[in-house]
């Protein structure tokens, strides 16, 4: 039974990787979004805060949200992009750190920033963070992490599918992803 349970976990992980690769392939080849609707970004961020709240509390990480805005797009895809950033931030933020989501509206765009305290990512690694299967240097690696290195590639693909982009900066103990 233990061997079967272990095999089942491995197969579920492989199925998620295959599903993620399929999502990357479809979004990168310009296929249309499954659905289009108005999305209140602060509502999506707050719903994700509710989801990640127990983990944040366990690590004594403060979550904050500033700003509001809405976009037209696929709600599940947008939620997944923000969720990927929050999940990574929680993984790489040290105990008693903080994660901030900031939504900025401009006349022709809306930007979601997800920032976290913790180890600074080396400037030469920043351009590679969105590459498939890439895992950052040892300062940001978490030995308990079981990800396949697809989350940020998926986030970038989701942004491209929505006509946007994903960027990252990291300096002085603060890493900031912007969608």
Q: What's residue 46's pLDDT?
A: 96
pLDDT tens for residues 6-39? 777 777 766 666 665 666 666 666 656 667 899 9
Q: pLDDT band at 129, cuts 50/70/90?
A: confident
- The Cα 23–Cα 33 span in angstroms is 11
pLDDT, average across residues 48-69: 95
């Amino acid at each position: 039974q233990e061997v079967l349970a272990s095999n089942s976990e491995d197969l579920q992980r492989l199925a998620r990787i295959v599903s993620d690769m399929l999502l990357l392939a479809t979004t990168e080849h310009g296929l249309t979004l499954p659905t289009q609707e108005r999305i209140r970004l602060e509502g999506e961020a707050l719903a994700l805060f509710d989801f990640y709240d127990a983990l944040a509390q366990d690590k004594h990480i403060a979550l904050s949200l500033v700003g509001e805005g809405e976009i037209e797009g696929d709600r599940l895809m947008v939620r997944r992009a923000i969720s990927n950033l929050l999940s990574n931030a929680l993984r790489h933020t040290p105990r008693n750190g903080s994660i901030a989501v900031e939504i900025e509206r401009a006349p022709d765009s809306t930007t979601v920033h997800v920032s976290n305290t913790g180890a600074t990512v080396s400037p030469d690694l920043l351009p590679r963070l969105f590459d498939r299967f890439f895992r950052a240097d040892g300062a940001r690696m978490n030995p308990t992490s079981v990800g396949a290195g697809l989350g940020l590639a998926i986030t970038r693909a989701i942004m491209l599918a929505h006509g946007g982009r994903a960027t990252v900066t990291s300096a002085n103990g603060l890493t900031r992803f912007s969608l």
